[in-house]
Amino acid sequence: MKFGHFDDANREYVIETPRTPYPWINYLGTQGFFSLISNTAGGYSFYKDARLRRITRYRYNNVPIDMGGRYFYINDNGTIWNPGWSPVKTELDAYECRHGMGYTIITGKKNGLKAQVTFFVPQDYDGEVQQVVLTNESGSDKTFKFWSFAEWCLWDAQDDCTNFQRNFSTGRVEIKDSVIYHKTEYRDRRNHYAFYSVNDKIDGYDTDRDTFIGLYNGFHNPQAVLDGKCGNSLADGWSPIASHFKEITLKAGESKTLVFVLGYVEMPVDKKFEADGKTINKEKALAMIEKYNTPEKFAAGMKELRTYWDKLLGILNVNTPEDKVNRMVNIWNQYQCMVTFNLSRSASYFESGIGRGMGFRDSNQDILGFVHQIPDRARERLIDIASTQLEDGGCYHQYQPLTKKGNADIGGDFSDDPLWMILSVSAYIKETGDWSILDAKVPYDNDESKAKSMLDHLTVSFYHIVNNLGPHGLPLAMRADWNDCINLSCFSDTPGESFQTYTNPKFKAEGGYSKVAESVFVAALFTYVGPNFVGILNHLGKADEAKKAQAEIDKMKKVMMDSAWDGNWFMRAYDANGQKMGSKECEEGQIFIEPQGFAIMSDIDKDATKKTLAAIDERLNTKHGLVLNNPAFSKYYVEYGEISTYPGGYKENAGIFTHNNAWIICAEAYAGRGDKAFEYYSKIAPAFNEEISDLHKTEPYVYGQMIAGKDASRFGEGKNSWLTGTAAWNMVAISQYILGVQPDFDGLRVDPSIPHAWDGFTATRQFRGATYRITVKNPDHVCKGVKSMTVDGKAVDGCIIPDLGSGEHQVEVVLG
Ligand code: BGC
Ligand code: NOJ
């Protein structure tokens, strides 16, 4: 069952009912100011950091769900409703929500009154702009009452929802004309405030939540709205809000447009106040309001946003025989990659914005799907991430976006982290040809005095693996690898110990983790990523160093065959007792997905590739995608940790973890099996699951982290949408492996691995200053194999388009 439809021409998903199986959200803003907005206008805004600079409040896991948002209330002669249905939930005569690229349009109609609200965050602007168009379609004159509503968060989201003894006495506001200013703590240690404005005279306002809502009422029946008035209340402690009140009369057929701005302002310390030393300096806020205070200016802002996305999405555009592929590649997958690039795993409807800042491994992987869009921002991010690395190559696992400092609560010692940086820096160079990033001076541990070149960071990353091998010569698993639920040094038997941070005291003396537990996944990742490091060294003319690194990779491949090959697939690990994990000898968890794809793409052994792919199909494949492991763990294994705490079929315990499905899609394509690659791709690609939205539950336009696996009673149900490495990796899988348009150090490679039934496809790719119009023909109906390639009519050896630097070029590729 569907709850809406794709409007590809407008790049929108159109939701036709407010009762989606879960709130279906969108993200506004791509730079400093961000908003989450659901199809019923729930959600919240923050500046840069969802934990440290939260602007409006949201209630996660509330009953009912999705409470807190920017709400407009209408009281039309006793009928009370919201344009987005919630929170009042009066049945509407018509409802529609269009989620587009950086904007959302929600339209509701009731009793002949239509309210259309458009929300967006302009470029280079720290605020959400909202335009409300009210149209009287009733045929006769109408007078009704109208309220806006936003609830301020007291800046630090963690503190805001825990420290009530203090917070109930700090809230402060100021009101001037039609603008409500939120200035909690501005007098003291904060140099920032927020405001909510409307471009029209108002008939009143409220800034105190209890006056507006009533202590024993809810968002669904605010007292002021029930009474048809407002209290002109001044918040003083408790919960400050911002609500504008207006009485509106519209003749039959008449419309009224209001433009609201919910903005954020930072002030230099010496300019915080007016001459009286008390009143806040509103200059910047007024300039922001001025920028969007008419419908014309609003329309111009929306147009700019569209142009911005036209440009971004013009960099890579494909036309394949499958509409759903085109929709994912040209629109939604790229859009999601922008969101994951910006927010890592911090704030979604499943991530509270409090627990997790920017993840080291996460952000490095997010860059893989984003780098072609705005390479300069990727470069800046790479340097921020690398700056949190430690001198020995280890890394802080997370950092806070506001401070850019490593998060000491979580610490480091995740064994895979450093490798992802080699991959992301390589992806940046392959995209841009900008080798100068390797010379950039980048601090260690955020300490400028410890700055060394980015190349040095890559070198310590590579050798961090080599220098930390276990008894078999495989990389030590340390705290955890990519699967941070395989906690081989935890042995936790006490409730409340975080698997992410707890280490059993028995490993303290050894440096914090077992020196026996080894990760086959990290070994496979090392053999996949390592050649990039070798390629970089060769390019720099460091042949000896390249040779030395290559020798380590070759050695690791041998170790994998000698000590990690299980006969039909690669094992997962050796645990801290030296026992095999992910082997046919195990009772449960005999095969794991994670190491297989990277091992295959490292060309470790031809026969192993064949057997491994067959085993994956046989043991992990289901109608909804590939499960992470099989059989699922049915009891708690103290030696494995968190993975065995999830019921079978959920999360890392045999859930369909869509992130690592992409690694198999890549591997299948790499191995030339385009049909299989496409089968796995289409099982999890959201647009392909639109028809089963009732089962799938999460948004049909973006990937979620997990779909319940075959062992789960809710097999096929999705969770944790939006912020997942799945977005980047599936972008890589479809564009670089299946369609095969893959940036390389020497130029743009075109080496597709497609379903044999396809006649071919076309693609436009802007790359290092030139535009390539690529036509792939498949007359013999093969999956893979470039028979010939021409660029501007001239034959080229191999399948790499040489770097032409500028202009537009025709590329023809014939498979066969
Ligand atoms: C989840 C993982 C997540 C980790 C980090 C675990 O509980 O299962 O998917 O990466 O927490 O916070
Ligand atoms: C989600 C986390 O964000 C990611 O870092 C981790 O690799 C996966 N879960 C797998 O556990």
Which residue has its alpha carbon closest to ligand 1 atom 3? 484
**Type of residue at 298:** F
Which residue has its alpha carbon closest to ligand 1 atom 1? 485
Dist CA 685 CA 679 (whole Å): 10
Ligand 2: does its nearest atom lie under 6 Å from the Cβ of 642?
no
Distance 81 CA to ligand 2 centre (A): 41
- Among 397, 659, 703, which is best to mutate for testing ligand 2, by the most ligand atoms less than 8 A from CB? 659
Which residue has its alpha carbon closest to ligand 2 atom 7? 482
Ligand 2: does its nearest atom lie under 6 Å from the Cβ of 82?
no
Quick one: which of 260, 349, 261 has its CA closest to 68? 349
Q: How far is CA 596 from CA 118, 417, 640, 753, in A?
A: 46, 19, 20, 19
φ/ψ (deg, to 5) at 360: -60, -55
Ligand 1: does its nearest atom lie under 6 Å from the Cβ of 778?
no
Which ligand is closest to the CA of 628, given by its number?
2
Q: What is the pLDDT of residue 105?
A: 99
Ligand 2: does its nearest atom lie under 6 Å from the Cβ of 362?
yes
Tokens 């690194």 belong to residue: 549
**Type of residue at 406:** G
Task: Write the pLDDT tens digit of every residue in 594-608.
Answer: 999 999 999 999 999
Ligand 2: does its nearest atom lie under 6 Å from the Cβ of 668?
no
Residue numbers in the chain where pLDDT is lower than 50: none
Q: Which residues have a Cβ under 8 Å from the Cβ of 410 and sit 6 or more positions away? A: 396, 397, 398, 500, 501
Q: What is the pLDDT of residue 176?
A: 98
Ligand 1: does its nearest atom lie under 6 Å from the Cβ of 486?
no
Contact, 24 vs 15, CB < 8 A? Answer: yes
Ligand 1: does its nearest atom lie under 6 Å from the Cβ of 644?
no
Percent of the chain as helix, strand, coil, to the nearest 5: 30, 30, 40
Distance 482 CA to ligand 2 centre (A): 6
Q: What is the pLDDT of residue 377?
A: 98
Beta strand 255-266 pairing with 173-176: unpaired
Work out the end-to-end distance of the chain between its first and last CA atoms, rounded to an integer number of angstroms: 40
Residues found in the chain: 816
Task: Write the pLDDT tens digit of every residue in 322-345.
Answer: 999 999 999 999 999 999 999 999
Distance 480 CA to ligand 2 centre (A): 10
Distance 51 CA to ligand 2 centre (A): 20
Task: Write the pLDDT tens digit of every residue in 43-86.
Answer: 999 999 999 999 999 999 999 999 999 999 999 999 999 999 99
- Among 352, 484, 490, which is best to mutate for testing ligand 1, by the most ligand atoms less than 8 A from CB? 484
Beta strand 142-155 pairing with 54-56: antiparallel
Distance 485 CA to ligand 1 centre (A): 7
Tokens 């003894």 belong to residue: 165
Active site residue 200: no
Q: What is the pLDDT of residue 409?
A: 82
Tokens 């300019």 belong to residue: 271
Which ligand is closest to the CA of 483, given by its number?
2
Distance 499 CA to ligand 1 centre (A): 9
Ligand 2: does its nearest atom lie under 6 Å from the Cβ of 193?
no
Q: Which residues have a Cβ under 8 Å from the Cβ of 99 and sit 6 or more positions away? A: 12, 13, 15, 24, 25, 26, 39, 701
Mean pLDDT, the chain, integer: 97
Residue 746 CB coordination number (10 Å)? 15
Contact, 386 vs 461, CB < 8 A? Answer: no
Dist CA 103 CA 130 (whole Å): 10
Q: How far is CA 358 from CA 352, 391, 419, 437, 451, in A?
A: 13, 20, 17, 21, 21
Task: Write the pLDDT tens digit of every residue in 516-559.
Answer: 999 999 999 999 999 999 999 999 999 999 999 999 999 999 99
φ/ψ (deg, to 5) at 536: -65, -45
Is residue 200 classed as helix, strand or coil in its secondary structure? coil
Distance 272 CA to ligand 1 centre (A): 41
Ligand 2: does its nearest atom lie under 6 Å from the Cβ of 126?
no
Q: What is the pLDDT of residue 357?
A: 82
Dist CA 699 CA 676 (whole Å): 25
Beta strand 770-777 pairing with 808-815: parallel
Ligand 1: does its nearest atom lie under 6 Å from the Cβ of 485?
yes
- Among 345, 485, 653, which is best to mutate for testing ligand 1, by the most ligand atoms less than 8 A from CB? 485
Q: Which of 156, 484, 575, 751 is catalytic?
A: 484
Q: How far is CA 573 from CA 564, 566, 595, 604, in A?
A: 8, 11, 9, 17
Distance 485 CA to ligand 2 centre (A): 8
Q: What is the pLDDT of residue 402?
A: 83
Task: Write the pLDDT tens digit of every residue in 256-277.
Answer: 999 999 999 999 999 999 999 9
Which ligand is closest to the CA of 725, given by its number?
2
Ligand 1: does its nearest atom lie under 6 Å from the Cβ of 336?
no
CA count, 13 A, side-chain hemisphere, 86:
20
Cα pseudo-dihedral 519, 674, 773, 314, rounded to 10:
-60
Which secondary structure element, helix H or strand E, spans residue 180, and what is its range?
A: strand 179-182
Distance 724 CA to ligand 2 centre (A): 8
Q: What is the pLDDT of residue 772?
A: 98
Q: Which residues have a Cβ under 8 Å from the Cβ of 638 and sit 6 or more positions away? A: 491, 492, 493
Ligand 2: does its nearest atom lie under 6 Å from the Cβ of 482?
yes
Q: Which residues have a Cβ under 8 Å from the Cβ of 189 and sit 6 or more positions away? A: none
Q: Would you give the DSSP letter of residue 122?
A: -
Which ligand is closest to the CA of 416, given by its number?
2
Which residue has its alpha carbon closest to ligand 2 atom 5? 362
E-strand ranges in 200-254 read 204-208, 240-250
**Type of residue at 662:** A
Which residue has its alpha carbon closest to ligand 2 atom 1? 724
Quick one: which of 295, 288, 286, 241 has its CA closest to 70? 241
